[in-house]
């Protein structure tokens, strides 16, 4: 089974859930789901650029074009950018080629020879392929509308590049932490935080982090702080990143710091799994991890501690299965996307306990005495009444309204002809897995 659930399948589930309450016909539901998915899958990426970028003449400069709406690693790698000048000729010193970082964001760069103001326009195009993990019937409906592959082009983003006169001093080094600045992290899943670098070329900048458990990974226009195996802490961790441009300029231009706060919490079941399971009784598993996104973990289910049964993602919950008679335990292991065990729970698997019989009440109805009782098996299912008779005094006729269910009515007939002071009943019920209960009770009549 794939360990990572696709963006499209998540969309499918969201669409399905939104329609469950209003649509009952299968074909109509599939058409509605396909239309919702077509609208969402056909949404082009969105480019975000400040209205005005300020560079300085004769300074090697770069600026970030953020992209939103890419849904796969393939799209991040294949997106194509185009940069146009709306002032006529392309400005000297500005590279017409937009390079990309690992998230598909665009980087414009260049060294402008002199002061000037330019109006530029950036756009991006990407080809989106349909996945194979949608239900075939829904996928066929989508293909009829938009085909197997969808070329998507962003709306053009227009902005101003203002080149100021050459600075006597180099541009100031700045660090910007990716929002939010206060985060909560569940132990076991990889953590990464982006720090964007402004001013000088990031390749000449050296970095340090106050917490040695973080690893610094360089990327285009930024660094990432990564941390895989943390220690649970009772108080938030304050993390400071320091940078130095190494150009020999004044300290306020050469140095920069930024910080963020991280709360690290242990994983917890949400909700707790059932405390036990029974042979042949349907068992429902639907426990996620509190505070953790469904795409960040999977659950491995083992029988008898070592026998793998299945590995499921959180969006596949609930999963229902019947424990076999050879099982003595079930183990549930929560695994992160890098297969770190985050949480474990083991429960016993037992022979089903016998169903319970509850006497609800009794009443006279003319010459008949009506007795009501209920019984359910351990799986909250129906029981079968194997026997329900008056055993004392002998010869009294009775009838049972049903042999299978949860609620039962026994009618004892023609009692006033013999007028016994009491009657004794025997009831035998069988639940799931063959578990049986015999119960004898007495009812005082007069």
Residue pair 190/337 in contact (Cβ under 8 Å)? The answer is yes
Check pLDDT > 50 for residue 6: yes
- Residue 239: strand pairing partners: 260
**Most confident range, picked from 86-90, 130-134, 168-172:** 86-90
- Residue 227: strand pairing partners: 191
Check pLDDT > 80 for residue 231: no
Check pLDDT > 50 for residue 441: yes
CATH superfamily membership of 1-168 = Immunoglobulins (2.60.40.10)
Confidence of residue 20 (pLDDT cuts 50, 70, 90): very low
Confidence of residue 349 (pLDDT cuts 50, 70, 90): very high
Report which of 136, 107, 285 is spatially closest to residue 198, judged by C-alpha positions: 107
pLDDT score of 7: 52
pLDDT score of 346: 96
Higher pLDDT, 316 or 160: 160
Report which of 220, 243, 96, 90 is spatially closest to residue 173, judged by C-alpha positions: 243
Q: 384: which 2 tokens?
A: 């079968």
Q: 204: which 2 tokens?
A: 């000449």
Residues listed for the chain: 446
pLDDT score of 416: 72
Higher pLDDT, 33 or 263: 263
Backbone angles phi, psi at 211, to 5 degrees: -105, 115
pLDDT score of 48: 92
Q: 99: which 2 tokens?
A: 């390079």
pLDDT score of 201: 82
Fold (CATH) for 269-350 = Immunoglobulin-like (2.60.40)
Q: 10 Å Cβ neighbour count for 320?
A: 9
Q: Please state which CATH number belongs to domain 356-444.
A: 2.60.40
> What value does the mean pLDDT take over residues 399-428?
89
Element (H, E) at 343: strand 341-350
Give the integer Cα–Cα distance in Å for 121 and 63.
Answer: 14
Q: Fold match between 177-263 and 269-350?
A: yes
Residue pair 85/97 in contact (Cβ under 8 Å)? The answer is no
Domain ranges of the chain: 1-168, 177-263, 269-350, 356-444
CATH superfamily membership of 177-263 = Immunoglobulins (2.60.40.10)
Task: Measure the CA angle with vertex 134, ends 283 and 28; round to 5°.
Answer: 90
pLDDT score of 126: 92
> What value does the mean pLDDT take over residues 130-150?
70
The whole-model pTM stands at: 0.51
Mean pLDDT, the chain, rounded, equals 84
Q: Which residues contact 388 (CB under 8 A, 6 or more apart)?
A: 398, 400, 408, 410, 425, 426, 427, 428
Q: Which residues contact 191 (CB under 8 A, 6 or more apart)?
A: 185, 226, 227, 228, 230, 262
DSSP assignment letter at 208: E
Report which of 127, 120, 117, 69 is spatially closest to residue 96, judged by C-alpha positions: 120
Q: 66: which 2 tokens?
A: 């953020």
Higher pLDDT, 290 or 373: 373
Residues of the chain above pLDDT 70, percent: 87
Check pLDDT > 80 for residue 23: no
DSSP assignment letter at 97: P
> What value does the mean pLDDT take over residues 357-369?
89
pLDDT score of 229: 67
Confidence of residue 153 (pLDDT cuts 50, 70, 90): very high
Q: Per-residue pLDDT tens for 289-317? A: 887 777 778 899 999 999 999 998 877 77
pLDDT score of 3: 41
Q: Per-residue pLDDT tens for 233-248? A: 768 889 999 999 987 7
pLDDT score of 19: 46
pLDDT score of 131: 66
DSSP assignment letter at 417: G
Task: Look at strands 255-265 and 237-244 and give their pairing.
Answer: antiparallel
Q: 38: which 2 tokens?
A: 């077509």
Report which of 356, 351, 381, 355 is spatially closest to residue 282, judged by C-alpha positions: 381
Confidence of residue 264 (pLDDT cuts 50, 70, 90): confident
pLDDT score of 128: 83
Higher pLDDT, 100 or 31: 100
Q: 10 Å Cβ neighbour count for 287?
A: 21
């Amino acid at each position: 089974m794939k360990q990572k659930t696709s963006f499209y399948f998540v969309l499918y589930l969201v669409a399905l859930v939104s329609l469950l309450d209003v649509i009952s016909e299968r074909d109509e539901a599939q058409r509605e789901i396909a239309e919702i998915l077509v609208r969402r899958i056909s949404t082009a990426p969105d480019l975000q650029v400040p209205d005005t970028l300020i560079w300085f003449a004769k300074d090697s400069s770069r600026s970030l074009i953020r992209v939103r709406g890419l849904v796969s690693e393939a799209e991040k790698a294949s997106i194509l950018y185009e940069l146009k000048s709306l002032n006529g000729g392309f400005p000297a010193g500005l590279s017409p080629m937009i390079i990309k970082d690992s998230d598909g964001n665009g980087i414009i760069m260049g060294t402008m020879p002199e002061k000037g103001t330019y109006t530029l326009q950036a756009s991006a195009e990407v080809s989106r392929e349909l996945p194979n993990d949608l239900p075939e019937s829904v996928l066929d409906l989508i293909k009829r509308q938009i085909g197997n592959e969808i070329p998507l082009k962003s709306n053009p983003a227009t902005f101003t590049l203002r080149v100021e006169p050459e600075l006597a001093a180099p541009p100031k080094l700045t660090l910007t932490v990716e929002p939010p600045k206060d985060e909560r992290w569940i132990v076991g899943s990889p953590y990464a935080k982006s720090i964007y670098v402004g001013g000088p070329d990031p390749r000449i900048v050296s970095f340090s982090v106050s917490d040695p458990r973080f690893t610094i990974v360089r990327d285009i226009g930024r660094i990432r702080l990564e941390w895989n195996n943390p220690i649970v802490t009772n108080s938030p961790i304050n993390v400071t990143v320091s940078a130095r441009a190494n150009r020999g300029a004044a300290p306020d231009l050469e140095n920069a710091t930024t910080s963020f706060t991280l709360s690290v919490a242990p994983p917890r079941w949400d909700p707790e799994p059932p405390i036990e399971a029974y042979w042949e009784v349907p068992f429902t598993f639907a426990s996620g991890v509190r505070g953790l996104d469904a795409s960040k973990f999977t659950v491995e289910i083992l029988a008898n501690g070592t026998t793998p049964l299945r590995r499921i993602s959180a969006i596949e919950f609930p999963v229902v299965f019947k424990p076999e008679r050879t099982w003595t335990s079930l183990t549930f292991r929560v695994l992160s996307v890098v297969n770190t065990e985050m949480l474990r729970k083991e429960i016993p698997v037992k022979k089903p306990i016998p169903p319970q019989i509850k006497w609800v009440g009794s009443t006279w109805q003319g010459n008949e005495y009506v007795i009501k009782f209920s019984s359910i098996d351990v799986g909250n299912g129906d029981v079968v009444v194997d026997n329900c008779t008056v055993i004392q005094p002998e010869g009294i006729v009775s009838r049972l309204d049903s042999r299978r269910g949860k609620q039962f009515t026994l009618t004892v007939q023609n009692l006033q002809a013999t007028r016994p002071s009491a009657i004794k009943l025997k009831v035998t019920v069988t639940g799931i897995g063959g578990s049986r209960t015999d119960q004898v009770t007495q009812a005082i009549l007069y």
